[in-house]
Amino acid sequence: MNFNIIDLDVWDRKPYFEYYLTTLKCTYSITCNIDITGLLSEIKKKDIKFYPTFIYVITKAVNSNKEFRMNFDDKDNLGYWDEMNPCYTIFHDDDKTFSNIWSKYSKDFNVFYNYVLKDMDEYKDVKGLSVKEPFPKNVFPISCTPWVTFTGFNLNVYNDGKYLLPVITLGKYFNENGKILLPLALQIHHAVADGYHSAKFINEIQDFVSNYKEWLNL
Protein backbone atom coordinates (compact mmCIF):
# COMPACT_ATOMS: atom_id res chain seq x y z
CA MET A 1 0.00 0.00 0.00
CA ASN A 2 1.38 3.36 -1.02
CA PHE A 3 2.61 5.91 1.53
CA ASN A 4 2.39 9.47 0.21
CA ILE A 5 5.04 11.80 1.64
CA ILE A 6 3.87 15.35 2.37
CA ASP A 7 6.07 18.24 1.30
CA LEU A 8 5.98 20.40 4.42
CA ASP A 9 7.34 23.43 2.57
CA VAL A 10 4.16 23.74 0.50
CA TRP A 11 1.67 22.18 2.93
CA ASP A 12 -0.89 24.75 4.06
CA ARG A 13 -1.22 23.04 7.43
CA LYS A 14 2.51 23.24 8.25
CA PRO A 15 2.30 25.94 11.00
CA TYR A 16 -0.51 24.10 12.81
CA PHE A 17 1.24 20.77 12.46
CA GLU A 18 4.52 22.03 13.83
CA TYR A 19 2.88 23.96 16.66
CA TYR A 20 0.88 20.99 18.01
CA LEU A 21 3.68 18.52 17.38
CA THR A 22 6.52 20.44 19.04
CA THR A 23 5.50 23.66 20.80
CA LEU A 24 2.28 22.53 22.42
CA LYS A 25 2.17 18.75 22.08
CA CYS A 26 -1.53 18.08 22.06
CA THR A 27 -3.91 15.21 21.48
CA TYR A 28 -7.60 15.35 22.28
CA SER A 29 -10.60 13.08 22.58
CA ILE A 30 -14.24 13.40 21.64
CA THR A 31 -17.00 11.12 22.91
CA CYS A 32 -20.39 11.02 21.23
CA ASN A 33 -23.40 8.76 20.81
CA ILE A 34 -24.12 7.22 17.42
CA ASP A 35 -27.77 6.38 16.70
CA ILE A 36 -27.68 2.74 15.57
CA THR A 37 -31.43 2.04 15.92
CA GLY A 38 -32.13 1.14 12.30
CA LEU A 39 -28.82 -0.59 11.64
CA LEU A 40 -29.08 -2.76 14.76
CA SER A 41 -32.63 -3.81 13.90
CA GLU A 42 -31.61 -4.75 10.36
CA ILE A 43 -28.55 -6.81 11.28
CA LYS A 44 -30.56 -8.73 13.86
CA LYS A 45 -33.06 -9.63 11.14
CA LYS A 46 -30.24 -10.77 8.88
CA ASP A 47 -28.36 -12.53 11.72
CA ILE A 48 -25.28 -10.36 11.14
CA LYS A 49 -22.77 -9.74 13.93
CA PHE A 50 -22.61 -6.17 15.20
CA TYR A 51 -18.89 -5.82 16.03
CA PRO A 52 -17.56 -6.76 12.55
CA THR A 53 -20.24 -4.56 11.02
CA PHE A 54 -19.21 -1.50 13.00
CA ILE A 55 -15.53 -2.16 12.37
CA TYR A 56 -16.43 -1.78 8.71
CA VAL A 57 -18.29 1.47 9.39
CA ILE A 58 -15.32 2.97 11.24
CA THR A 59 -12.76 1.81 8.67
CA LYS A 60 -14.87 3.21 5.85
CA ALA A 61 -14.89 6.61 7.56
CA VAL A 62 -11.14 6.50 8.27
CA ASN A 63 -10.43 5.76 4.62
CA SER A 64 -12.64 8.66 3.57
CA ASN A 65 -10.57 11.19 5.54
CA LYS A 66 -6.89 11.75 4.76
CA GLU A 67 -6.31 13.39 8.16
CA PHE A 68 -7.00 10.02 9.81
CA ARG A 69 -4.49 8.14 7.64
CA MET A 70 -1.44 10.27 8.50
CA ASN A 71 1.70 8.88 10.07
CA PHE A 72 5.50 8.92 9.88
CA ASP A 73 7.44 6.43 7.78
CA ASP A 74 10.63 4.64 8.80
CA LYS A 75 12.68 7.72 7.89
CA ASP A 76 10.46 10.03 9.94
CA ASN A 77 8.81 11.54 6.88
CA LEU A 78 5.25 12.73 7.37
CA GLY A 79 2.72 11.32 4.95
CA TYR A 80 -0.51 9.43 4.59
CA TRP A 81 -1.51 5.97 3.47
CA ASP A 82 -3.72 5.41 0.46
CA GLU A 83 -5.74 3.01 2.56
CA MET A 84 -5.86 1.76 6.16
CA ASN A 85 -6.68 -1.62 7.64
CA PRO A 86 -8.30 -1.97 11.07
CA CYS A 87 -6.51 -3.47 14.05
CA TYR A 88 -9.07 -4.50 16.66
CA THR A 89 -9.34 -6.37 19.92
CA ILE A 90 -10.92 -9.78 20.54
CA PHE A 91 -11.78 -10.90 24.07
CA HIS A 92 -10.91 -14.25 25.67
CA ASP A 93 -13.67 -15.00 28.13
CA ASP A 94 -11.84 -17.81 29.93
CA ASP A 95 -9.01 -15.68 31.33
CA LYS A 96 -10.43 -12.17 30.64
CA THR A 97 -7.54 -11.15 28.42
CA PHE A 98 -7.62 -9.73 24.90
CA SER A 99 -5.62 -10.00 21.71
CA ASN A 100 -5.05 -7.59 18.85
CA ILE A 101 -5.70 -8.83 15.35
CA TRP A 102 -6.15 -7.06 12.03
CA SER A 103 -8.16 -7.65 8.87
CA LYS A 104 -7.68 -6.57 5.29
CA TYR A 105 -10.02 -3.76 4.31
CA SER A 106 -12.40 -3.96 1.38
CA LYS A 107 -14.88 -1.32 0.27
CA ASP A 108 -17.37 -4.13 -0.28
CA PHE A 109 -19.09 -4.85 3.03
CA ASN A 110 -19.75 -8.48 2.19
CA VAL A 111 -16.09 -9.15 1.39
CA PHE A 112 -14.79 -7.28 4.44
CA TYR A 113 -17.32 -8.85 6.81
CA ASN A 114 -16.20 -12.32 5.81
CA TYR A 115 -12.53 -11.34 6.19
CA VAL A 116 -13.24 -10.31 9.80
CA LEU A 117 -15.30 -13.41 10.61
CA LYS A 118 -12.51 -15.62 9.29
CA ASP A 119 -9.83 -13.79 11.28
CA MET A 120 -11.90 -13.79 14.47
CA ASP A 121 -12.54 -17.51 14.19
CA GLU A 122 -8.92 -18.34 13.39
CA TYR A 123 -7.48 -16.39 16.32
CA LYS A 124 -10.26 -16.69 18.89
CA ASP A 125 -8.27 -19.15 21.03
CA VAL A 126 -4.80 -17.72 20.39
CA LYS A 127 -3.50 -15.86 23.43
CA GLY A 128 -1.11 -12.94 23.32
CA LEU A 129 -1.13 -9.20 22.81
CA SER A 130 -0.69 -9.23 19.02
CA VAL A 131 -1.39 -12.63 17.50
CA LYS A 132 -1.91 -12.15 13.77
CA GLU A 133 1.57 -11.46 12.46
CA PRO A 134 2.99 -9.68 10.67
CA PHE A 135 1.08 -6.46 11.24
CA PRO A 136 1.09 -4.20 8.19
CA LYS A 137 2.22 -0.63 8.68
CA ASN A 138 -1.07 0.84 7.47
CA VAL A 139 -3.24 -0.16 10.43
CA PHE A 140 -5.13 1.88 13.03
CA PRO A 141 -6.59 0.68 16.37
CA ILE A 142 -10.19 -0.03 17.35
CA SER A 143 -11.21 -1.35 20.76
CA CYS A 144 -14.49 -2.07 22.49
CA THR A 145 -15.72 -2.13 26.09
CA PRO A 146 -19.13 -3.80 25.67
CA TRP A 147 -19.60 -4.11 29.44
CA VAL A 148 -20.09 -0.43 30.18
CA THR A 149 -21.80 2.61 28.70
CA PHE A 150 -19.54 5.65 28.98
CA THR A 151 -20.08 9.37 28.55
CA GLY A 152 -16.38 10.13 28.27
CA PHE A 153 -13.26 8.16 27.45
CA ASN A 154 -9.69 9.42 27.39
CA LEU A 155 -6.75 7.32 26.28
CA ASN A 156 -3.34 8.60 27.38
CA VAL A 157 -0.52 7.62 25.02
CA TYR A 158 2.85 8.13 26.69
CA ASN A 159 5.44 8.25 23.93
CA ASP A 160 7.36 11.02 22.21
CA GLY A 161 4.13 12.78 21.32
CA LYS A 162 4.26 11.70 17.68
CA TYR A 163 1.49 9.09 17.58
CA LEU A 164 -0.76 10.54 14.88
CA LEU A 165 -3.22 7.77 14.10
CA PRO A 166 -6.81 7.83 15.37
CA VAL A 167 -7.80 5.53 18.21
CA ILE A 168 -11.49 4.59 18.30
CA THR A 169 -13.17 2.98 21.31
CA LEU A 170 -16.74 1.68 21.42
CA GLY A 171 -18.86 1.24 24.54
CA LYS A 172 -22.02 -0.66 25.42
CA TYR A 173 -25.01 0.56 23.45
CA PHE A 174 -28.11 1.62 25.35
CA ASN A 175 -31.75 2.65 24.90
CA GLU A 176 -32.74 6.28 25.34
CA ASN A 177 -36.11 7.75 24.34
CA GLY A 178 -36.78 4.88 21.96
CA LYS A 179 -33.39 5.10 20.24
CA ILE A 180 -30.44 2.72 20.52
CA LEU A 181 -27.28 4.74 21.03
CA LEU A 182 -23.66 3.60 20.83
CA PRO A 183 -20.93 5.50 22.74
CA LEU A 184 -17.98 6.17 20.46
CA ALA A 185 -14.75 7.82 21.58
CA LEU A 186 -12.20 9.25 19.18
CA GLN A 187 -8.64 10.05 20.21
CA ILE A 188 -6.56 12.00 17.68
CA HIS A 189 -3.45 14.20 17.49
CA HIS A 190 -4.19 17.91 17.10
CA ALA A 191 -1.20 18.20 14.74
CA VAL A 192 -3.13 16.44 11.98
CA ALA A 193 -6.80 17.02 12.82
CA ASP A 194 -8.74 19.93 14.28
CA GLY A 195 -12.26 19.97 15.64
CA TYR A 196 -13.63 20.42 12.14
CA HIS A 197 -11.98 17.24 10.89
CA SER A 198 -13.12 15.21 13.89
CA ALA A 199 -16.68 16.51 13.59
CA LYS A 200 -16.70 15.66 9.88
CA PHE A 201 -15.43 12.15 10.68
CA ILE A 202 -18.08 11.54 13.35
CA ASN A 203 -20.88 12.98 11.21
CA GLU A 204 -19.85 10.72 8.33
CA ILE A 205 -20.07 7.71 10.64
CA GLN A 206 -23.59 8.71 11.66
CA ASP A 207 -24.63 9.33 8.05
CA PHE A 208 -23.18 6.01 6.97
CA VAL A 209 -24.98 4.18 9.77
CA SER A 210 -28.26 5.93 8.99
CA ASN A 211 -27.99 4.97 5.31
CA TYR A 212 -27.22 1.29 5.96
CA LYS A 213 -29.55 0.15 3.17
CA GLU A 214 -27.07 1.47 0.63
CA TRP A 215 -24.25 -0.90 1.67
CA LEU A 216 -25.58 -3.69 3.93
CA ASN A 217 -25.70 -6.28 1.17
CA LEU A 218 -25.45 -9.63 2.95
Q: What are phi and psi of 56, to 5 degrees?
A: -65, -45
pLDDT for residue 125 is more than 80? yes
The percentage of residues in the chain with a pLDDT greater than 90, rounded to a whole number, is 95
pLDDT of residue 87: 98
- Spatial distance between the Cα atoms of 75 and 77, rounded to a whole number of angstroms: 6
pLDDT for residue 218 is more than 70? no
Residue 14's alpha-carbon distances to 3, 8, 161, in angstroms, are 19, 6, 17
pLDDT band at 160 (very low <50, low <70, confident <90, very high): confident
Residues with active-site annotation: 190
Mean pLDDT of the 117-146 span: 96
- Other C-beta atoms closer than 10 Å to the C-beta of 132 total 17
* pTM of the entire predicted model: 0.96
Residue among 56, 68, 69, 99 at smallest CA distance from 3: 69
Strand residue runs (E) in the chain: 3-5, 27-35, 70-72, 78-81, 85-92, 97-102, 139-144, 167-170, 174-176, 179-189
CATH code for the part of the protein at 29-214? 3.30.559.10
